[in-house]
Amino acid sequence: MSRAKTHGKPSYSASGHQHKKQFGQNFLNNDSIIRQIVHAIHPQADQHLVEIGPGEAALTTPLVQQVKRLDIIEIDRDLHQPLRDKLGHYPAFALHQADALRFDYAQLATDDKPLRLVGNLPYNISSPLIFHLLNFLPHIADMHFMLQKEVVERLTATPGKKSFGRLSVMVQYFCQAELLFIVGPENFEPPPKVDSAIVRLTPHQPLPYQADNFEDFSALVKQSFAMKRKTLRNNLKGWLNDDDFNTCGIEPSLRAEALGVADFVTLANHYSHHYT
Ligand code: SAM
């Protein structure tokens, strides 16, 4: 997703680190944006933060000084020793050499404080990472992520909007999603080709609409969006018939993008009760 403006030529940070495209390494280079992000996170002294992809510690440095514990998860081994040298003396600091996509976040939730997740995420893994994190929501207080602006628009879209899709429904089933602000490519080294945005995800407690069988709900949402231009009747053929839609009070000639989370829960619960 990210591209160095040098078109294939390697790009280096001031410390001499060669940015790696395969790890989505676009490092923040604007102190005022970094301050704005930290301000939005609003870290407190008794809190437990987890940062995904610290890179060269643009966000880590201000955060580690302000919280009780900061676990950082970084896949690039070349960055580990510089991170230890820079931040290892802070009592809050704990480094994990790991892939954030496979990481067991529950193992970090050792104290009574729920985790606050933060990160300027590698754009190429942002959707699978968010789906992975949905498994750990009982341990998570909130998440502040920098993502490609288009992904933030999908996360925060309301029904009827062009960017409303499966990711919107699945994330909004669990979380309130807010776009906080947009960050232009000039604030990164190397600059990505697209705009970025900061999103805040706050898990609902309790869930406003509860699916009786989560696997059915998840499968039905996926199937409803299988062919974006098709109607619900067509995408859900073999799952629900017109009588089922009538009973649920949902018009089968609509497309999935017109439905809210509550409608998908209604359809999924009907399916669970009548067909499984
Ligand atoms: N936080 C730094 C900043 O804002 O300047 C770096 C952000 S950079 C966009 C993404 C970071 O995530 C890089 O440090 C990269 O090596 C790391 N990363 C990429 N894939 C990862 C993965 N699967 N697990 C953990 N870290 C990863």
From ligand 1's centre to the CA of 262, what distance in Å? 35
How far apart (Å, rounded) are the C-alpha atoms in residues 269 and 123? 34
Residues in a beta bridge with 73: 52, 96
Atom number in ligand 1 closest to CA 55: 14
How far apart (Å, rounded) are the C-alpha atoms in residues 127 and 125? 6
Banded model confidence at residue 2, pLDDT cuts 50, 70, 90:
very low
How far apart (Å, rounded) are the C-alpha atoms in residues 273 and 267? 10
From ligand 1's centre to the CA of 256, what distance in Å? 34
26-49: pLDDT as tens digits? 999 999 999 999 999 999 999 999
pLDDT for the residue 3: 40
- 3-state SS, residue 117: strand
Contact 118, 201 (CB under 8 A): no
Atom number in ligand 1 closest to CA 124: 20
How far apart (Å, rounded) are the C-alpha atoms in residues 120 and 147? 7
Cis peptide before 208 (omega within 30 of 0): no
Atom number in ligand 1 closest to CA 20: 16
Spatial neighbors of 213 by CB under 8 A, at least 6 apart, are 268, 269, 272, 276
Q: Is the pLDDT of residue 6 over 80?
A: no
Residues with CB under 6 A from ligand 1: 23-28, 52-55, 58-59, 73-76, 99-101, 120, 122, 125
* ipTM summary value: 0.99
Atom number in ligand 1 closest to CA 123: 9
From ligand 1's centre to the CA of 219, what distance in Å? 31
The per-residue DSSP string of 6-64 comes to: TTTS--B-TT-PBP-GGGT--EE--HHHHHHHHHHH---TT-EEEEE--TTTTTHHHHH
Cα–Cα distances in Å, from 225 out to 24, 30, 167, 256, 259? 28, 39, 10, 6, 11
Rg (CA), the chain: 21
Residue nearest ligand 1's atom 8 by CA:
25
From ligand 1's centre to the CA of 35, what distance in Å? 19
Atom number in ligand 1 closest to CA 29: 5
Residue 167 annotated as binding site: no
Spatial neighbors of 90 by CB under 8 A, at least 6 apart, are 64, 65, 70
pLDDT for the residue 173: 98
Banded model confidence at residue 14, pLDDT cuts 50, 70, 90:
confident
How far apart (Å, rounded) are the C-alpha atoms in residues 125 and 113? 27
Residue of 2, 120, 183 to test ligand 1 pocket, by largest number of atoms within 8 Å of CB = 120
How far apart (Å, rounded) are the C-alpha atoms in residues 221 and 245? 15
Residue 74 annotated as binding site: yes
Residue nearest ligand 1's atom 19 by CA:
23
Residue 53 annotated as binding site: yes
Residue 46 annotated as binding site: no
100-156: pLDDT as tens digits? 999 999 999 987 789 999 999 999 999 999 999 999 999 999 999 999 999 999 999
